[in-house]
Structure 1
Amino acid sequence: MNAPPASRFGFEWPRLAFGFRTALAACLALLLAWLAGLEHPQWSGMTVWAASQPLRGHLLEKSAARLAGTIIGVLFGLALMRVSHGDAMVLVIGISLWIGLCAFAGNLVRGYASYAAMLSGYSAAMVALLDAAHPEHVLALGADRVLTVAVGILAALLVGWLFAAPGDDISVVEKARLVSEQLAADIVARLRGAPVSENEQRSILSDISALEGTLDLHGAGSRRRRRLVRKIRALLAAQVSA
């Protein structure tokens, strides 16, 4: 069987197709933002590249996280500008504390909530510092930031939703089942008095850890998948205890 033309040049067709349609969505976002008269239309294109994902659940949740993080950061930046009245010392201290708080929160939570927390930090910095010399323009800058991000998210969803895969529950369930089979065989061997390798036990724990690390992203964007993730986590906890 002949290889696809793209693979002959070292490209993987699924990744190439994803990159191509993301580029088209970025161009669409840039055009829409420009036609709307937004001041920084390039932010819309950047948002498409940041939000686009190959799976629908990830696309939806990351888009929501980006919008939420942007709005929170912009609101804090506007509030800081109003409180500081353009005083550089107050701005620097306020932004430093806010970025530190967002970084702390981003490391405390997991999944796309962490992304939203980090985004809140530098969104506030962009609003407060990009036009610090003209505090009278900060409200327009904040509105422009939110609107450009919203346009980028809209374009990413319009294009990405048509091609993004719905996700695969079977692989996660199958991995959990395989670990259960390994563990059951290990328990049976011990009950029969056969020696059990410590390396085998470490391998089972390593498989459990690797599977647990993928569960947050697997549940993204779907209540049904989140319920499945909770059930698998309960199973993994029982496996570790066993």
Structure 2
Amino acid sequence: MRDPNEVDFARLTMSPEDPTCFALRTTIGAMTALALAGAVELHHPWWAAMTVWLVAQPAPGAYLARSLARLGGTACGSAIGVVIMHALQGRPTASLAALASWLALCAGAGSLFRQSRNYLFVLAGYTAAILVLSNLGEQVHDPELALDRVLCAVIGIACSTLISLHRLLERGQDLREQMVPLLQRSLERVRGYLFDGRAASPNPLLAELAALERAADFSASGDAQHVRRISGLLLQLVALTPCSGRDTSPALPNCQRSPAIPISELIASAAAAKQHGLECVLDELSQAMHRVDDVSIRAMYAAAAALDTSSVLLAAARPVIALALAGAFWWTTAWQAGNVMVMTAALFGCLFSSHDDGSQMLIHVLTGSLLGAVLGVGTRLLLLPHAHNLASTLLCITPCLLLGAWLMRRPATAKMAIDLTMTFLLTAQPTSAPAPHEIVLGQAAAILIGVLAAVAAYWLVPATPQSRSRLIAQRIGRLTLRVAETRSPTRAIRALSRLSAAEVRLLGYVDPADRTFAAAQRCVAEVRRAVAQYHPATGSDGSSAPISTTTVQALRRASAALSASIESEYRREAS
């Protein structure tokens, strides 16, 4: 099983930045944000410094998208938080119930999107939780806290933009540029299949497509939708051109072969070989290649990634369970710092609700939070009491900020580094008034126990690459059966679009040589062949003559083989 989060940033982004330079740049931005937020007397000015780290990204496109998501999610979550506080007037049970509903809605809706769009939804969820729980803990109704959080986000994004401006002007490799060689290799594969009756192993090509799929997550341009649409068609080409030509029509040795591989030639050759499924895919590919700016193509592919009820419900359940576990502990113990614990559980339960490997990420969070809490408590109790002005306060926190930023650019420590820095700022609370030891230690303990509550929630409802790939593969099997059972060309085509989108997604989780992926590719091939059998609709309900019994049986066999592969893989993992 491949790690879906393992991304070759050297290919996806601009020139790599030295970790020391990144640490200096990010630390300067964070300290500037903290100073500005403190100068205008905002509540919790360290939120501004935290924003600098939260939007720090290795790619310029990802930075811009994440900054916009940070601003939009903070504004939306703050507005909802104010509504809950005003409507429920600090009633704990009702407020927690309202938060649970809002977190479920945000996490479930966010599961339909990726990267920055997903971040916008989960941020809206946990921002409301932070505001409401802060008010519950302090037993005050302070709407200004919401405005201050938005202003801190604006200040943090502005400071991060200023210190990253030279990097933002650099340009990474365009997704379409990366797609061109893959298109050529795919067409070469089709030509070899049609003219020679065989094709080479698709695994190298599939590996490149998988890398491109992961690269699309970090693109801020409008190319990602289009590239995924093309990738889905290329996967269909691979599915319809197996390594052995035994299940196809004879090769066409007498046809002229153009070294430029014009796609029109391949369409004609596929038609001559009575490979109607292959002919349809090549025709769609030709249209997509020459209409890259057609909004309808993007809209069609976006609609293809339709609602997957299982994934949405699981994503919605995780933050609710984390909130319930921490809330029950708070209600039972009446702990003074219990609101901080529930806040942390809600934050991380929501943040990783749609993450490809949320369960493992929370282990990194726990490690980083533990280290950050130790550094934060030590700084707040031992150093900050001796800082009597802003300059000395910044001097006290600079070493820890530099350490966190430097670790963030090291592959082995990147995943825990940001949580180290966030927890450090939350526990150190620079520029705040001195607090008794028991309060500082209680807040640090509450943060760690909140993380443990989130870990427990993800143990009950796992979020792993294995579980995610299993859900996607099961969806492919259901869509294959849907095509076998329908008489409507429109429904069959819609199912094919959704299946193609799911297949692209599955490629990001499994090895191309994996048995489950091969079974899923067989489903793709059989569905494409079935759709190619439909003629223009003749019935008033959009239906036409049903596909042949042989095709229906082939679809059911393909779905059954995929289900058997999923079950076998699940038993192997369980043992």
Which TM class, normalised by the smaller chain length?
0.7 to 0.9
Amino acid at match of 1:203: P
For 1:77 and 1:29, how far apart are their aligned partners in 2?
24
Return the match for 1:185 from 162, 183, 188.
Answer: 188
Equivalence for 2:234: 239
Answer whether contact 2:110 2:118 (CA < 8 A) is retained: yes
Which residue pairs with 1:45 in the alignment?
Answer: 49
Amino acid at match of 2:18: P
Query: Is residue 214 from structure 1 mapped to residue 228 from structure 2 by the alignment?
Result: no
Q: Is the 8 A contact 1:51 1:63 kept in 2?
A: yes
1:234 & 1:106 partners in 2: Cα distance? 21
Bigger CA drift: 181-190 or 128-137? 128-137
8 Å CA contact 1:85–1:135 kept in 2: the answer is no
Cα distance in 1 between the residues matched to 2:17 and 2:216: 27
- Between Structure 1 and Structure 2, whose CA radius of gyration is higher? 2
SS in 2 for 1:43: helix
Question: 1:33 and 1:239, CA in 2 relative to 1: closer, same or farther beyond 3 A?
Answer: same
Deviations for 1:20-71, whole angstroms, at most 9, x for unmatched residues? 2011100100110111111211100000000122333322221111011011
Bigger shift: residues 184-193 or 63-72: 184-193
- Superposition map of 1:56-135 within 5 A: 56-132=60-136
Amino acid at match of 1:14: D
Q: Is the 8 A contact 2:69 2:119 kept in 1?
A: yes
Q: In the alignment, is residue 195 of structure 1 matched against residue 190 of structure 2?
A: no
Tell me the amino acid that sits aligned with residue 180 of structure 1.
Answer: L
Equivalence for 1:151: 155
Shift of 1:176: 1.3
Alignment gaps of 5+ in structure 1: 1-11
Mapped to 2, the partners of 1:20 and 1:148 lie a distance apart of 21
Deviation string for 1:76-108 (max 9, x for gaps)?
111011111211111110011111111111211
Alpha carbons of structure 1 residues 13 and 77: separation in structure 2 relative to 1, 3 Å: closer
| Larger mean Cα displacement after TM superposition, 107-116 or 43-52 | 107-116
**1:238 counterpart SS class:** helix
- Alpha-carbon distance in 2 for matches of 1:30, 1:133: 24
Instruction: Report the counterpart of residue 178 of structure 2 in structure 1.
Output: 175
CA RMSD in angstroms, aligned pairs only: 2.2
TM-score normalised by the chain length of structure 1: 0.82
* Cα distance, 1:134 vs structure 2: 5.1
Residues 46 and 235 from structure 1, CA distance in 2 versus in 1: closer, same or farther, beyond 3 angstroms? same
Bigger share in helix: 1
Size of the aligned set, in residue pairs, is: 222
Q: Distance in 2 between matches of 1:115 and 1:57?
A: 15
* Partner Cα distance (1:235, 1:108) in 2: 20
Give the SS at the match of 1:20: helix
**TM superposition shift of 1:163:** 3.1
Counterpart contact for 1:26–1:46, Cα < 8 Å: yes
Provide the identity percentage.
28
Who is 1:5 aligned against?
Answer: none
2:27 maps to a residue whose letter is A
Residue 13 of structure 1 and its aligned partner are, at CA, apart by 5.5
Aligned counterparts of 1:232 and 1:113: Cα–Cα separation in 2: 18
| Per-residue deviation, 1:196 | 2.4
For 1:208 and 1:54, locate their aligned partners in 2 and report how far apart those are by CA, in whole Å: 22
Contact 1:57 1:166 in 2 (8 A): no
The aligned residue for residue 455 of structure 2 is none
Kindly indicate whether the alpha-carbon contact (under 8 Å) linking 2:90 and 2:141 is maintained by their aligned counterparts in 1. no
| SS of aligned partner of 2:43 | coil
Pairing 1:29–2:26 present: no
Q: Tell me how far apart the structure 2 counterparts of residues 163 and 174 of structure 1 sit (CA, whole Å).
A: 21
How many angstroms apart in 2 are the aligned matches of 1:188 and 1:98?
53
> Matched residue of 1:138: which SS?
coil
TM-score, normalised by the number of residues in structure 2: 0.36
Q: Work out which structure has the larger RCO, using CA pairs closer than 8 Å and 6 or more positions apart in sequence.
A: 1
* Cα displacement string for residues 177-234 of structure 1 (whole angstroms, at most 9, x for unaligned residues): 221232222222222325324xx2243234223313322421x1xxxx31x4454344
More deviation in 129-138 or 155-164?
129-138
Aligned to 1:138: 142
- Counterpart CA distance in 1 for 2:178 and 2:117 is 26
Distance 1:204 1:138, change over 3 A: same
SS of structure 2 residue aligned to 1:166: coil
Q: Name the CA shift for 1:122/1:234 in 2 (closer, same or farther; >3 Å).
A: closer
Q: Is the 8 A contact 1:33 1:148 kept in 2?
A: yes
Q: Deviations over 1:104-128 (max 9, x none)?
A: 1121112311001111111101110
The letter for the 2-side match of 1:163 is R
Query: Does 1:205 pair with 2:227?
Result: no
Q: 2:45–2:152: 8 Å Cα contact kept in structure 1?
A: yes
- In the alignment, the residues of structure 1 paired with residue 137 and residue 198 of structure 2 have an alpha-carbon distance, to the nearest angstrom, of 73
Matched-pair contact (CA < 8 Å) for 2:59–2:218: no
Aligned to 2:18: 14
Aligned-partner Cα distance in 1 for 2:210–2:56:
27
Contact 1:53–1:164, Cα closer than 8 Å, also in 2: no
Q: Is the 8 A contact 2:67 2:157 kept in 1?
A: yes
